[in-house]
Amino acid sequence: MRPLADPRDPPHIGGSDQREYKGPVGVPMEATAPSIGDFDRFVFVVGAPRCGTTTLAGFLKSNRAVRSPIVKEPHYFAQNDLSNLDDASLRARVEDEYLRRFFQYAPARRIGLDASVTYLYTPEQLEPVLRLWPDSRFVVALRNPLTMLPSLHARLLYIGDETIKRFDEAWDAIPDRRDGRRIPGRCADPRWLFYDEAARFSTYLERLFAVVGRHRCSVVLFDDLASNPAREYRRLMDFAGLEPELGIDLKARRSSYAVRSHWLQRILKRPPGAVRELLAGEQFYERFRDLHDKRNRRVSGGILRLRKRVLQWNRYPQLADALSLRMHDAICRSFGSEIDRLSALIGRDLTHWLKPANWNVGMEKGGSTRGANRAAFASELR
């Protein structure tokens, strides 16, 4: 994947409800904006999407030493190639465009957090991070493509970037979409619709290791996170150099949802330009607001509350449909060699990922099966 085209308009695969902290009362915001030196290092949860990154970010965010951004996924280093800047220009630009926009005044929290899933697909653009914070760490969450890709499709439907309701039909549309056809209007980034690219884990992991170093990376498998979150929490804290917190919430941070009205969902999640600032919500405002505008205008709280209530009404928990045999075979053909290379890369046999399993493969070509395992599947991390 190339860097996102518009630095203010990322794909919003994840998110956060954090609000901006304005700093001490009576102190201008400019005086409390974070600087490079306010952070000892960053922990980046770089992807892949729908592999437990929101849960991992939640584990890190709950630590008292960690300073998290006002949105879970700033996507800044995926959208901006800073590799040709000299050190002084790099520091100035990152402080003004990244730290000032996305991070709170919290001087006691010296470990930064950024959980942008686009970073896995633009690893070369993370090199400037190491010039600023050489001790940074990179967490990579991965998942069986047979479950990850349908989950990604469901998420894109939910946030309004996908309009083809059946995953098999969306998969078949990939060639057209690569040619610029059948792209939904107001789709934040059409490359998320290239499902055959999203699970090329070994390709992107090799590139990430080459840029930041294998010793700075930790790979978390979705299956391990779902089966033993306490163990993965302790492992994450150890890798990040953080003390585990007592009473940590180990529940999954994001479930999959379907929507009652796709039209209404897209109006609220991907509104037309004329009403975009009004309807797109608080996170949109934080991404687009003029940092130099002293008036610091905000969307009406009443509108935001109404928008939130309508979104809550419009969604309901989604239970996964089984893959058809045709789609199972297509995914296995597309990613078989990738999974073999990934197994060698991380020293763990993952070849079982692409083997048939009765609980998630439909019996009829093009059809779907709803078995007794649907409830268990729906309770997974999404």
> DSSP string spanning 332-370?
HHHHHHHHHHHHHHHTS--GGGGS--TTTB-SSTT----
Is the same domain home to 266 and 127? no
Is the same domain home to 354 and 320? yes
In a domain, 75, yes or no: yes
Is the same domain home to 230 and 277? no
Average pLDDT over every residue of 97-119: 94
The beta strands (E) that lie in 92-195 are given as 111-114, 137-142
Is the same domain home to 234 and 320? no
The domain total for the chain is 2
Helix (H) or strand (E) holding 151: helix 145-159
Is the same domain home to 73 and 53? yes
Give residue 366's pLDDT band: very low, low, confident or very high (50, 70, 90). Answer: very low
Q: What is the pLDDT of residues 131-147, one digit of tens each?
A: 999 999 999 999 999 99
Is the same domain home to 178 and 214? no
Is the same domain home to 267 and 297? yes
Q: Are 20 and 101 in contact (CB under 8 A)?
A: no
Task: State the Cα–Cα distance between residues 326 and 324, nearest whole angstrom.
Answer: 5
In a domain, 163, yes or no: yes
Helix (H) or strand (E) holding 136: none
DSSP for residue 46 = -
The domain in which residue 105 lies consists of: 29-143+199-240
Q: What is the pLDDT of residues 251-267, one digit of tens each?
A: 766 677 888 998 898 88
Q: Are 331 and 149 in contact (CB under 8 A)?
A: yes
Question: Which residues have a Cβ under 8 Å from the Cβ of 120 and sit 6 or more positions away?
Answer: 46, 47, 48, 140, 204, 205, 208
Is the same domain home to 167 and 77? no
Q: Which residue has the tokens 């996908």?
A: 162
Is the same domain home to 362 and 271? yes
Nearest Cα to 332, choosing from 153, 154, 196? 196
Q: What is the CATH number of the domain that holds 78?
A: 3.40.50.300
In a domain, 1, yes or no: no
In a domain, 54, yes or no: yes
Is the same domain home to 217 and 278? no
Q: What is the pLDDT of residues 41-70, one digit of tens each?
A: 999 999 899 999 999 999 999 999 999 999
